[in-house]
C-alpha cells in the first residue's frame, strides 16, 4: 500500500563516467547534475516499488531540484527519497543527495503509477 513516509536510498561513486564533462552538462570532472537527478529518481522508484500492485510501475514526470555543492571524483553520493504525498496515481517525493561533506542537492520529484503494459502500448 502506498503511504506517506515510504523511503529508500540509492548510492553511486563519482567516476569519470558520471562527471559533468562526460555527460555533456559541463566541462569539469565533478558529479554531474543529470547523474544526481537520476540517482534521486532511482531512490524514489525504489521507495515505492514493493508497494505497487502487480503489473504496475512508476514513471518520472517532474523534477525540481537544486544542485548546491560539487562532489569530486571518488566521492560516494547517496540520494534519499521520502514519499510526501499520494494523490491518486500522482506520487510526490522529497529528495536529497549527500556526500561525506554533507548536502549536495535537494528538491521534489513527482512520479505517476502506471500499468506497465498499457504504458508500453503507447509506444506505437
In the block, cell 562526460 appears at 22
**Closest Cα to residue 48, out of 107, 108, 3?**
3
Neighbours of 12 (CB within 10 A): 20
Residue 39 CB burial class (10 angstroms; 0-12, 13-18, ≥19): buried
Q: In the numeric block, which cell numbers belong to residue 84? A: 510526501
Q: Is 67 a catalytic residue?
A: yes
- Which neighbouring-strand residues pair with 11? 78
| Residues of the chain below pLDDT 70 | none
pTM of the model: 0.97
pLDDT in tens, 15-41: 999 999 999 999 999 999 999 999 999
The residue ranges of every structural domain in the chain are 7-121
Query: Which residue in 19, 58, 67, 80 is the catalytic one?
Result: 67
The pLDDT value recorded for residue 73 is 99
Query: Which residue in 11, 15, 19, 41 is the catalytic one?
Result: 41
The CA-based dihedral angle spanning residues 49, 51, 57, 63, taken in that order and rounded to the nearest 10 degrees? -70
Query: Which residue in 15, 33, 78, 92 is the catalytic one?
Result: 33
The domain made up of 7-121 has a fold known as Thiol Ester Dehydrase; Chain A (3.10.129)
Q: Return d(Cα 105, Cα 84) in angstroms, integer.
A: 17
Amino acid at each position: 500500500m502506498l503511504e506517506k513516509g515510504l523511503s529508500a536510498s540509492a548510492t553511486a561513486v563519482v567516476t569519470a563516467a558520471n562527471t559533468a564533462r562526460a555527460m555533456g552538462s559541463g566541462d569539469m570532472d565533478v558529479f554531474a547534475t543529470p547523474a544526481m537527478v537520476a540517482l534521486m529518481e532511482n531512490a524514489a522508484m525504489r521507495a515505492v516499488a514493493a508497494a505497487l500492485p502487480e503489473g504496475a510501475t512508476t514513471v518520472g514526470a517532474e523534477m525540481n531540484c537544486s544542485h548546491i555543492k560539487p562532489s569530486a571524483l571518488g566521492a560516494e553520493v547517496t540520494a534519499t527519497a521520502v514519499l510526501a504525498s499520494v494523490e491518486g496515481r500522482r506520487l510526490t517525493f522529497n529528495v536529497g543527495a549527500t556526500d561525506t561533506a554533507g548536502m549536495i542537492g535537494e528538491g521534489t520529484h513527482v512520479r505517476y503509477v502506471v500499468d506497465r503494459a498499457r504504458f508500453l502500448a503507447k509506444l506505437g
